[in-house]
C-alpha cells in the first residue's frame, strides 16, 4: 500500500521549498493535487500516484543536495530578487533547484548552507534546536567591554528577551573586533543587538553554523558529505 504524507512535506521532499514556504503556497491557492486546489495543510498525498503541481509545475521526488557556501559580500540570500541584485544561486553552478537555509545579509559574508531538503533546513532553523552560530564582528568604534557584557546577560529587543551566548575580543588589545556566539536566527539579529547599545556593525562574517565552518575560500562552495548530514541529524533530531 502506498504511503501518504502531508502535502507540505511532499512539496519539501520534492525540493521545491521548505515546509513553511509550502504552507504559504497552499494558503495562496497555488498548489493542486490531481488538478484540484489544495484547501488544507493536512491534506495527504501519494507522490508515486498523485500529480502535485505548484503554479502548474509538476513536482517529482529529487535526489537531496546539500551545499556549503562561503558567501561573499554583494549577494542576497534568496532564490530571486525584486531589485535584480545578484543572488547566492549565481555562485553555484548546478541545474537542480536549491534554496538557502536561512539568510545572511547582502553585505554579510561566511557560512551559508543551501539544500533541497526541507526537513534538513527546518532542523537547522527551528528555534527549539538552539543551533549555535559564531560570527566575527567589526564595530564602528572602540567598545567598552563592560557595556558589551550586557549582551550576554540579555536585553530587550523588539519586545523580546535576547542575548548572546558569548562575546569576546579577537585579541586582548583589540576593542573593535569581536567574536560572537548566538543561537538566535532572527533577521539582522547581531547588527540589531549592537545597535541597541550604541554600536554599528561595519563588517560581519559568519565563521560557523552548527558543525559547518568557513573552511573554503570566500565565494566558493563544496558539497556537504553524507557523514556531515548524519552528524547534524544525530545532534538535533
Residues recognised as catalytic: 105
For 8, other C-beta atoms within 10 Å of its C-beta total 25
Q: How far apart are CA 30 and CA 38, in angstroms?
A: 8
Distances (CA, A) of 231 to 99, 226, 228, 235: 21, 9, 5, 6
Residue 88 has what DSSP assignment? G
Which three three-digit cell numbers place residue 218?
570566500
Burial of 138 (0-12, 13-18, 19+ CB in 10 A): middle
Amino acid at each position: 500500500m502506498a504511503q501518504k504524507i502531508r502535502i507540505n512535506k511532499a512539496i519539501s521532499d520534492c525540493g521545491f521549498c521548505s515546509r513553511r514556504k509550502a504552507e504559504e503556497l497552499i494558503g495562496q491557492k497555488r498548489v493542486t493535487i490531481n488538478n484540484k486546489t489544495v484547501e488544507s495543510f493536512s491534506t495527504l498525498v501519494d507522490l508515486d500516484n498523485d500529480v502535485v503541481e505548484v503554479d502548474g509545475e509538476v513536482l517529482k521526488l529529487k535526489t537531496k543536495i546539500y551545499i556549503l557556501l562561503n558567501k561573499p559580500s554583494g549577494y542576497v540570500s534568496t532564490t530571486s530578487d525584486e531589485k535584480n541584485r545578484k543572488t547566492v544561486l549565481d555562485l553555484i553552478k548546478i541545474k537542480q533547484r536549491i534554496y538557502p537555509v536561512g539568510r545572511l545579509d547582502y553585505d554579510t559574508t561566511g557560512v551559508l548552507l543551501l539544500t533541497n531538503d526541507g526537513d534538513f533546513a527546518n532542523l537547522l532553523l527551528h528555534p527549539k534546536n538552539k543551533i549555535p552560530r559564531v560570527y566575527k564582528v567589526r564595530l564602528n568604534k572602540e567598545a567598552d567591554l563592560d557595556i558589551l557584557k550586557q549582551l550576554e546577560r540579555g536585553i530587550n529587543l523588539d519586545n523580546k528577551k535576547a542575548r548572546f551566548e558569548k562575546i569576546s575580543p579577537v585579541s586582548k588589545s583589540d576593542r573593535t573586533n569581536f567574536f560572537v556566539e548566538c543561537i538566535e536566527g532572527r533577521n539582522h539579529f547581531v547588527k540589531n543587538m549592537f545597535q541597541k547599545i550604541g554600536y554599528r556593525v561595519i563588517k560581519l562574517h559568519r565563521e560557523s553554523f552548527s558543525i559547518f565552518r568557513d573552511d573554503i575560500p570566500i565565494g566558493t562552495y563544496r558539497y556537504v558529505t553524507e557523514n556531515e548530514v548524519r552528524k547534524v541529524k544525530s545532534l538535533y533530531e
